[in-house]
Chain A
Amino acid sequence: MLRFVVRRVLLAVLTLFAVSVITFTLFFAVPSDPAQLMCSKDCTHEQIEQTRDALGLNDPIVTQYTDYMTGIFVGRDIGKGEAKVRCDAPCFGYSYRDNESVWSNIKDAAPITLSIAVGAWIIQTLLGITIGVIAALRRGSVIDKVAVGSTLIGASMPVYFFSAILLLVFVYTTNIIPRPVYTPLLDNPAKWALGMLLPWLSLALIGYANEARMTRATMLETLSEDFVRTAKAKGVPKGQVHRRHALRASITPVITISGMNLGYLMGGAVITETVFGLPGLGKLSVDAVSTLNLPIVMATVLIAALAIVIMTMVVDFLYAVIDPRVRLS
């Protein structure tokens, strides 16, 4: 078991390393000149050269990469001579536009994304599993058909269209719900929830579809397994057969999808944040991309990848906990 955990963690670290190298190379090896971007229009050539030098942009890319990674883990000094600034760990550099530290941008945006992600994830997972199980148990009935139909609609609905519909109907037209804003959870939980309601719904009412479809499919498959028949032959009551025997065995693939979804959501609900104008990580990266503000983009990609890799790992561990057959291999 310990070997399994250690190997899995090492693999995750290696994966993140690869992601960081690829992203870094792509972003920092391109011709667009950050020094130019940081200068105002009438920068002299010398000034640009100075900035380049100060940012270390004239160093070989390997040096730049190691500097960058060192900054994340232990902090580093940016710039040379008098302009030198100490950037504490985790240091993702400074925004090209306003010279603010990238980390402080991220610290401001993360709670918003986290609020959206966790809330939406809880709703969609509960909804997805419940609807999937009910549909499977009532296979072929009207309830099943309605459930399958609704998941098809969910799976076909583009988030940007659906978010906009919610906004148009509940905010602009009827004014039932105020325009989503972020209030920190600890300041006012009710206001926090109200402000997050539409983003949650816009993600969860679409995201549940996959989980429900997966749950239904695996549940149907499990219901025809031999061990479910054995349970019935033992005299286990129907409800227990479904809960304790069938659901238990069919939940594993659902956990995979659900866990991965949480990972992707935590990386930033790009579209939802954009449509509702919530300054989370997704919105931060969209805005940064439009101004080619690479340090911020780089940081958001890395953080999103971190969330995904961690969730993949968690899912693998959960697998091992749930399925005794995994432990041995």
Chain B
Amino acid sequence: MSQTKSSGPYLSIEDLKVHFKTEDGMVKAVDGVSFEVSEGETLGVVGESGSGKSVTGMSILGLHDPKRARISGKIYLDGTELLHLSENKLRALRGQAMTMIFQDALTALHPYYTVGRQIVEAYRLHHNVSKGTAKTRAIEMLDRVGIPEPGKRFAQYPHEFSGGMRQRAMIAMSLVNNPRLVIADEPTTALDVTVQGQILDLLADLQKEFNSAIIMVTHDLGVISDIADRVVVMYGGRVVEEGTAVDVMSTPQHPYTWGLLNSVPTLHGDASEDLRPIPGNPPSLLNVPSGCAFHPRCQHSLGKGSACETEIPQLLGINGAPNHVAACHLPESTRRRIMETDVRKVEVA
């Protein structure tokens, strides 16, 4: 489907900006984001709501309303630039080369059509096969994602499924065309903890099988530590830290990442240790704070009039780990000291 077969990363995003025009002004939902994912790799994109993580995922598939969203930058999928692709060509890629798994399968599946019919539709959009063949394939997928009695379930409606089964069906639909890029937008947030684990295991299994690239968008560091190879931490529409999951979880460099880690409850952590949520709220994207967007909430900010308030920090490599980058004005030594004494780390699976 792409003219230029490159050996580089399967997806790469360069300086992506997504701005929405609203009544109250311009909302800078994503403001200069770059990252890459390769085949067989799972990239975790973490951040609070409003950090721009979901908007980034949506713009890869080109799902924003062009009338309302101003999008700039570059998105290369297997060498093909997507932002300037015609709607028709983009449509052919959606659901085939790249797919999306949404957070709430109850609202994301059409309530009036059977689950089977929706999977068949997804398959036949990209394969010129008979309904019967597509049905066989759909039942096979339902079986593959661990839905018991797939033949019977095929003819049922989304509301007749339990939450976990529904999410499995959603995954079956997203993967029916063996996509090479899967964007999972908070796929487990709406589910029970036990079911969450099952769904993540399923995704990991399927990834091994199809060797696809997965972008896991989530606010939950637990999920990241479970399945991500690399992590991108987003705040206020920008990337503030990026690195391998091990690096980011065990030697986090950005105060925001520390905040996220400190607010995660752990199973084997010290019970006397308090959870320390990040004070304040995510910034309004209408009016992102000057300098480092995190400075109003940052306990380690260098104070009034400092670079933290005036200058947007660059993503810079860490000594000894050039692929681990963070955007923070604090001297590296200071960060190392705080990180070692005051930040809880999460074990990576």
Contacts and interface: CB of A to CB of B under 8 A. Distances in A.
B100 A233 contact: yes
B174 to A, nearest CB: 8
A235 interface: yes
Interface stretch (B12-20, B105-113, B310-318): B105-113
A233 B95 contact: yes
Interface of B: 61, 63, 67, 87, 91-96, 99-100, 102, 104, 107-112, 121-122, 125-126, 157, 159, 173
Contacts, number: 70
A85 B173 CA distance: 72
Given A229-B102, A236-B121, A322 B112 contact: yes
A144 to B, nearest CB: 12
Contacts of B61: 232-233
Contacts of B104: 226
A187 B121 CA distance: 49
Contacts of B99: 233-234
B159 A230 contact: no
Nearest to A229: B63
A324 B112 contact: yes
Contact of A235 (B92, B102, B108): B92
A237 B112 CA distance: 19
Given A226-B107, A229-B102, 13 more contacts: A140-B67, A226-B104, A227-B107, A227-B109, A229-B63, A233-B63, A233-B99, A234-B99, A234-B125, A236-B125, A248-B112, A249-B110, A328-B159
Given A232-B63, A233-B63, A233-B100, A325 B111 contact: yes
Contact of B173 (A229, A234, A237, A325): A234
B172 to A, nearest CB: 12
B157 A325 contact: yes
B240 to A, nearest CB: 28
Contact of B110 (A227, A232, A235, A238): A227
A299 to B, nearest CB: 41
A242 interface: no
B190 to A, nearest CB: 12
Interface of A: 140, 225-227, 229-238, 245, 248-249, 322-325, 328
A324 B94 contact: no
B63 A249 contact: no
A323 B126 CA distance: 28
Given A229-B63, A229-B102, A235 B109 contact: no
B108 A234 contact: no
Chain B CB count within 10 A is highest, among A322, A325, A328, for A325
B94 A235 contact: yes
B111 A230 contact: no
Nearest to A233: B100
Given A226-B107, A229-B63, A238 B94 contact: no
Contacts of B111: 227, 249, 323-325
B108 A227 contact: yes
Nearest to A228: B110
Given A229-B63, A235-B94, A324 B108 contact: no
15 contacts: A225-B107, A226-B104, A227-B109, A230-B102, A230-B110, A233-B102, A234-B94, A234-B125, A234-B173, A235-B91, A235-B125, A238-B91, A324-B157, A325-B157, A325-B159
B335 to A, nearest CB: 39
A231 B110 contact: yes
A237 B87 CA distance: 9
Contacts of B173: 234
Nearest to A249: B112
A254 to B, nearest CB: 14
A132 to B, nearest CB: 19
Given A233-B61, A233-B94, A234-B122, A323 B107 contact: no
A140 B21 CA distance: 14
A236 B122 CA distance: 8
B133 to A, nearest CB: 18
A233 B98 CA distance: 9
Contacts of B96: 235
A322 B157 CA distance: 12
A225 B63 CA distance: 13
A234 B95 CA distance: 4
A139 to B, nearest CB: 9
Contacts of A248: 110, 112
B121 A324 contact: no
Nearest to B106: A226
A238 B87 contact: yes
Nearest to A225: B107
Contact of A226 (B92, B93, B102): B102
Nearest to B107: A226
Nearest to B94: A235
Contacts of B109: 227, 230
A323 B61 CA distance: 30
Nearest to B97: A235
Chain B CB count within 10 A is highest, among A230, A236, A249, A322, for A230
Contacts of A249: 110-112
